[in-house]
Amino acid sequence: MLNDLFASQAIADALEIVRTQFALALWETLYVTLAATLAAFLIGLPLGVLLVVGEPDGLLPLPKWLLRFLNVLINLLRSIPFLILMIMVFPLTRLIVGTAVGTTASIVPLSIAAFPFVSRLVESSLREIDPNILEMSRSMGASPMQTICRVMLPEALPSLVSNGTIAVTTILGYTAMSGIIGGGGLGKIAINYGYYRYQYLVMLLAVIVLVLLVQVFQSVGTRLSQRLDKRLKK
C-alpha cells in the first residue's frame, strides 16, 4: 500500500494535479467557507440574541410559544446530518441559485446547517456577560436596543470572535463533504481522486491543506480574541 502510495508515477501524477487544480480548489474552498460563514452569522447572530433577550426575565421578553418554537427549530436543524440536509434542501438551493450542484450552490446547505450552530454559540457568548453590567445599563435609562448594541455585543465580542472561529473551522470541514454533490474545492478533489480513482496521495495532500487552513483560521481567531479581551489588558 505504501509502496503504491509513494511510487514515482503516483507522485508525478499528484504533483501535476497540485499544479493544475489546487489553486482553484483552494480559492473555491475559501470562497464557500467565508460566504457560508457570513450568511450563517447574518441569521444566527440575531437569532442567538433573541434566545437570550427573549427569555421571561430578559430585555425583550418573547411569547413563550415563540421562544419554544425557536429552540425546537434550532435543535431540529442541528440534529440533521449534513449530507442528508444537503439533499433535503435541493429544491430551495435550486430556487435561490438556479441549480442544486456546484460551488455556489453548496453555500445554501452550508448556511442552513451552520446558522443553528452559530446561534447557539452566540447565545453561549452572551450568557457569559456579567448581569450587573446589564443592570447598570438599564438603571442608566438605556433602551433594550441600546443595551444590546452598546453593552451586550461589545462585552461579548472576544467570546463571539472565539466562537466565530469555531464556526469557521466547522464550516470548513463541511465544505469537504459538499464535494459529494459537486460542491467544488479541496473536498471535491479529495473525493474525485482519492475515493473514485484510488489516488490516495492526492487525497492526502488535500487533507493536509485543509488541516493547514484550520490552523491558520484558529491562530488568527485566537489572537484577535485575545487582543479584544479587556481582561488580558489589565
Predicted pLDDT of residue 200: 82
Mean pLDDT value across the chain: 86
Reported as half-sphere exposure (CB side, CA atoms, 13 A), residue 152 has a value of: 27
Q: What average pLDDT does this structure show over 14-27?
A: 83
Q: Which residue has the higher pLDDT, 105 or 233?
A: 105
- Phi/psi at 128 (nearest 5 deg)? -80, -10
Domain 2-229, what architecture? Orthogonal Bundle (1.10)
135, pLDDT greater than 90: no
Instruction: Record the pTM.
Output: 0.88
Work out whether the CA dihedral 171, 166, 85, 120 comes out positive or negative: negative
Backbone φ and ψ of 25, nearest 5° = -65, -40
Instruction: Look at residue 208 and tell me whether its pLDDT is greater than 60.
Output: yes
What is the rounded CA–CA span in Å between residue 204 and residue 16? 15
Most confident of 56-60, 72-76, 150-154: 72-76
**pLDDT recorded at residue 165:** 93
pLDDT tens per residue, range 170-205? 999 888 888 777 777 888 888 888 777 777 888 888
CB 211 within 8 A of CB 159: no
pLDDT category of residue 6 using cuts at 50, 70 and 90: low
Cα gap 100→109, rounded to integer Å: 10
**Amino acid of residue 63:** P
The pLDDT of residue 131 is: 83
Domain ranges (residues) in the chain:
2-229
Q: Tell me the one-letter amino acid at 47.
A: L
| CA 173 and chain centroid, separation | 9
What mean pLDDT do residues 44-67 have? 90
pLDDT surpasses 90 at 212 = yes
Per the rule left: phi > 0, alpha: psi between -120 and 50, beta: everything else, 60 is beta
Arithmetic mean of pLDDT, 18-29: 86
Res 42 pLDDT > 90: yes
Which residue blocks in 142-199 are alpha helix, DSSP H?
144-147, 153-178, 185-189
Structure confidence by residue, pLDDT tens digits, 220-234 = 999 998 888 766 555
H/E stretch holding 44: helix 8-53
Position 33 scores a pLDDT of 93
85-99 mean pLDDT: 88
